[in-house]
Structure 1
Amino acid sequence: MQLKKGQRIMVTKENLPNRISFFFGWNQGSQAMSIDAAAFLLSSRNRCEQDEDFIFYGHPQAPNGSVEHVVLKKEDQEVIHVSLAKLSDDIAKIAFTVTIYDGEALDHRMKDITGMYLRIVNTDLGEELYRFEYGSDLSLETAVVVGELYRHHGEWKWNAIGSGFEGGMAALCINYGLELEGSTQEPEVAVSMAMEAPTISPIDLRKKLVQITLEKKRMTDVAARVGIVLDISGSMQRLYRNGTVQDVLERILAVACKFDDNGSLDVWIYDNEFRRLPSVTEKDFHHYVTDHILNNASIHKFGRNNEVPVMEDVIRKYTVEEDSELPAFIIFINDGGVVKAIRKIITAAAVQPIFWQFVGIGESDFEVLKRLDTMEGRVVDNANFMHLNDFKSISDEELYDRLLNEFPSWLKEAALKRIIRM
């Protein structure tokens, strides 16, 4: 079965293979190029919790033998074998990558490689399950996240990504939480990575994905103010403690960096009270939730929910205190139980330069939010809803595509009604 970019498929459903092999192939434009496949074993925090979770030619096997990297140099250049039964329960996802060694320094780029493919094989039966051909849209990149194998309700699914990035292996290591200094990799690799690392920000990969999404939706010239409203009612407590809310903040910050000239994300939290918090930027997003929310005794938290006051404050900020020609894009995070009175607020705000993107997390029914698109009596449709059972299981690429799904049509409609200027 041929996979398309962005396609998700079930790998282990009825016929559960004990072992799966991922065969990588490519044709390189020059024999001087050095191309390598690798696997990052990731926790639920989307990061390698230890150096041993990075599997590549310099560290070819996980300590328990669950993942093994082998160089073939035949039609299939390299293979990564995965024994599913041996994988620790702490491993929530495996990201498979291909990088060009020292690509920026040697001016070797993905455009110099053709015929890139991945074959997913049931190792026990020697049966090819899926084939994913990718890379035809790549140019100056030096790294590719080919795809992800991830847990889903007790099974394993595959997400075909095929997205390229600059910065090579160093950028990927930083993105997945690995420290470059003092690594166990071969000296020449570590030196090369250390040289590249200072120019890479942990959020750079996500900004690249946002840029790709904006290009697909023809929004590269759009400027907007971006804000996030975080539910901090009692049912959200676990998501604050386990790092999910921090992850939400970091992933949304990448959107703000592309839309806002100041690269800042405005932040609100609310339960039955609300608070405006300091805006977050690339310079200070680390530990933001811990420092500004959880450890802030002055903030009311984990009470009941009431969305109306915080929505009124958002409107007040962008239409009275900081009136501007720029539209505002608001991501509203909630885990259920929205009060029905928000419909009146949204209807009244339809004449304002604000678009509300509600994101429901968890297994609530979100009855009120599901009806946003069918609400009548508005000048324009100024709100959208998307539901994610598990925020951490969605890839950045899919998240940004869905977050920005209706914003472009609102921009056009709001401009026609002279609510905003384009």
Structure 2
Amino acid sequence: MLLLKGQKIDITKGTSLSNLSLQFGWSSSAAAMNIDAACFMLSDNNRCERDEDFIFYGNSSAQSGAVNHKQLDSIDKEAISISLSKLPNSVAKMAFTLTIHEGEKHGHMMKDISNSYLRLVNADNGEELFRFEYGSDLSKETAIVVGELYRHNGEWKFNAIGSGFYGGLEALCTNFGLEIAEEAEQEVAAAAEKTILTSIDLRKKIVQITLEKKKLTNFTARVGLVLDISGSMQTLYKNGTVQEVVERILAVACKFDDNATLDVWIYDNEFSRLPSATEIDFEHYVQKQIMNNKTIHKFGRNNEPPVMQDVIRKYTVEEDSSIPVFMVFINDGGVVKPIKKVITESAVQPIFWQFVGIGDSDFEVLKQLDTMEGRIVDNANFIHIEDIASISDETLYNLLLNEFPLWLKEATAKRIIRN
């Protein structure tokens, strides 16, 4: 199976896989280029907590014996083998990288490398499970985060990233929290500031492609996110899924929003309007703004109308504007029936409600949105994504923005959106 950039796939779910080999291959235009693969073993803070957890040619084996690096005399250049059963519980994620040694010094760049790929192989029988070809969109970078292997609900998944960095191996070490030699700190710090195509940058590129396909590049909208924080959502807040949802929707805001910020609400039987998320402060947003905030009511029962009324109040009273609103509403257990009244009454306002149902509830009320009567325009859409963490960014953005263009056209024709 050939993976697409940004795609996330299950590795161990439904299988007996215990030994995995990640095999790197590439071609280079300059024989003098020194290219290396490496693995950063990361904690749940996305940090490489010890030097020993950085596996590369200079430290080829983890202390636990779970991860090993070796060079190959074949079409595959290098391999990192992993015994999943030996991995310490402290390892939440592993980032796999490719770097050009002293690339800036010698003028070597990723554009000088071609046919780059990563093969995920069952180490017990040699079967190729997945293949990720990457790097065709890179140019002057000297390092790549190829992908990540990470824990999710007791299983392992792989995220195909393919994002580039300036600064080579040193910049990657800085990115993952490792200290470097003092004499190199100033040079690496400058290089790290030039980091490009981080996860949010990658998602912005995917959003841009989606907007182009749907002919939305000339539209501006205010973007908001409402997050369910009722009792059934506890696991998703604690395992990082909600944090990733914030980042994924923030990418839409960065490309779509009038001021590149994401307005955020949370609700159970109460609601809170949170500080907006931006590219500067989105990291650990959920932990800082929600989980660590004792004033926020958490994990009660769900009641949607009050938070919906606050959304309407913000955009039509407090910040009345001709710019339309794209509101993403995340819910995992169905909604109360009175939301129909709120949606119907708000049909005359420049607000489009995009409901996203996650999990395995029946979502009886939300499934009826398209057939609701009594509205001047259809101002709401519902999509059901059972496991939002497993769906690729490309698929998610395509689903999210599927009906919004139709509403824009109808709302403009009805003069709900003022030009």
Query: TM-score normalized by structure 2?
Result: 0.80
Judged with a 3 Å threshold, the aligned counterparts in structure 2 of structure 1 residues 420 and 164 are, in CA distance, closer, same or farther, namely farther
Partner of 2:76: 76
User: Does 1:262 find its partner at 2:256?
Assistant: no
Question: What is the SS of the residue equivalent to 2:305?
Answer: helix
Shift of residue 206, structure 1, vs aligned partner: 0.9
Conservation of the 8 A alpha-carbon contact between 2:332 and 2:359: yes
| Deviation by residue 1:287-342 (Cα, 9 ceiling, x = unmatched) | 54455444545444443321112111211211222122222222222231411221
Instruction: For 1:69, give the aligned amino acid.
Output: H
Conservation of the 8 A alpha-carbon contact between 2:203 and 2:248: no
Judged with a 3 Å threshold, the aligned counterparts in structure 2 of structure 1 residues 208 and 413 are, in CA distance, closer, same or farther, namely farther
Partner of 1:39: 39
The match for 1:277 among 274, 278, 285 is: 274
Partner of 2:336: 339
| Deviation by residue 1:214-246 (Cα, 9 ceiling, x = unmatched) | 124314444321222222334344544555544
Partner of 1:314: 311
| Deviation by residue 1:145-202 (Cα, 9 ceiling, x = unmatched) | 434445566655545x354334455665566xx224x24xx7888775333123449x
Range 53-62 or range 300-309, more displaced: 53-62
Shift of residue 24, structure 1, vs aligned partner: 1.1
Matches within 5 A, 1:3-402: 3-5=3-5, 11-12=11-12, 16-42=16-42, 45=44, 47-48=46-47, 50-51=49-50, 52-72=52-72, 74-101=74-101, 108-151=108-151, 156-159=156-159, 161=160, 163-167=162-166, 178-180=176-178, 182-183=179-180, 193-200=188-195, 204-218=198-212, 219-240=216-237, 244-285=241-282, 288-389=285-386, 391-392=388-389, 399-402=396-399
- Whole-angstrom CA distance in 1 between matches of 2:336 and 2:289: 26
Range 335-344 or range 21-30, more displaced: 335-344
- Whole-angstrom CA distance in 1 between matches of 2:391 and 2:301: 28
Conservation of the 8 A alpha-carbon contact between 1:100 and 1:142: yes
Range 283-292 or range 33-42, more displaced: 283-292
Shift of residue 127, structure 1, vs aligned partner: 3.6
Conservation of the 8 A alpha-carbon contact between 1:46 and 1:93: no
Identical residues among aligned pairs (%): 62
- Whole-angstrom CA distance in 1 between matches of 2:201 and 2:283: 16
- Whole-angstrom CA distance in 1 between matches of 2:295 and 2:8: 44
Question: What is the SS of the residue equivalent to 1:367?
Answer: coil
Question: What is the SS of the residue equivalent to 2:365?
Answer: helix
Conservation of the 8 A alpha-carbon contact between 2:335 and 2:366: yes
Question: What is the SS of the residue equivalent to 1:339?
Answer: coil
Length, aligned pairs only? 414
Question: What is the SS of the residue equivalent to 2:33?
Answer: coil
Instruction: For 1:328, give the aligned amino acid.
Output: V
Judged with a 3 Å threshold, the aligned counterparts in structure 2 of structure 1 residues 151 and 192 are, in CA distance, closer, same or farther, namely same
- Whole-angstrom CA distance in 1 between matches of 2:3 and 2:280: 38
Judged with a 3 Å threshold, the aligned counterparts in structure 2 of structure 1 residues 91 and 260 are, in CA distance, closer, same or farther, namely same
Range 303-312 or range 27-36, more displaced: 27-36
Conservation of the 8 A alpha-carbon contact between 2:357 and 2:385: yes
Shift of residue 399, structure 1, vs aligned partner: 4.7
Judged with a 3 Å threshold, the aligned counterparts in structure 2 of structure 1 residues 211 and 418 are, in CA distance, closer, same or farther, namely farther
Instruction: For 1:118, give the aligned amino acid.
Output: L
- Whole-angstrom CA distance in 2 between matches of 1:46 and 1:391: 21
Give RMSD over aligned pairs. 3.8
- Whole-angstrom CA distance in 1 between matches of 2:18 and 2:348: 57
Judged with a 3 Å threshold, the aligned counterparts in structure 2 of structure 1 residues 200 and 2 are, in CA distance, closer, same or farther, namely closer
Shift of residue 78, structure 1, vs aligned partner: 1.3
Task: List runs of 5+ in structure 2 lacking aligned partners.
Answer: none
Range 116-125 or range 145-154, more displaced: 145-154
